[in-house]
Amino acid sequence: MAEDESPRLSDEEEIWSALRTVIGGLAVLDLVTMIVISEAMEDTTWQGMSVSVWAIVIGVPIFGLLSALTLFGDRIILRNRT
């Protein structure tokens, strides 16, 4: 395919593409970190709860926030495209 035939991305779309990649990477890192901490610290407690539980209590909302940012960003970019 020639260069002239490829669709050009606007500056906003290119910036969002880079941010989306970073947000996706952070979501994967959050998920892996939750799993590692949950497995490694099953017997350790903090504030009366296992650190494994704390990892899930803190990690799941962070994962949800990152997913929501991705969805809302996609909606905004798609809305501006038309």
Q: Structural domain boundaries of the chain?
A: 27-82
CB of 57 within 8 A of CB of 30?
A: no
Q: Quick check: 2 pLDDT over 60?
A: no
Global pTM value: 0.78
Lowest mean pLDDT among 3-7, 8-12, 13-17, 50-54: 3-7
Using the predicted structure, report yes or no on whether residue 50 has a pLDDT greater than 70. yes
Q: Say which residues have a Cβ less than 8 Å from residue 39's Cβ, sequence separation at least 6.
A: 52
Q: Would the pLDDT of 39 be above 60?
A: yes
Q: Are 55 and 37 in contact (CB under 8 A)?
A: yes
User: Residue 27 corresponds to which tokens in the numbers above?
Assistant: 């979501």
pLDDT given for residue 78 in this prediction:
79
Q: Could you give the CA distance from residue 12 to residue 1 in angstroms, rounded to a whole number?
A: 24
Percent of the chain with pLDDT over 90: 49
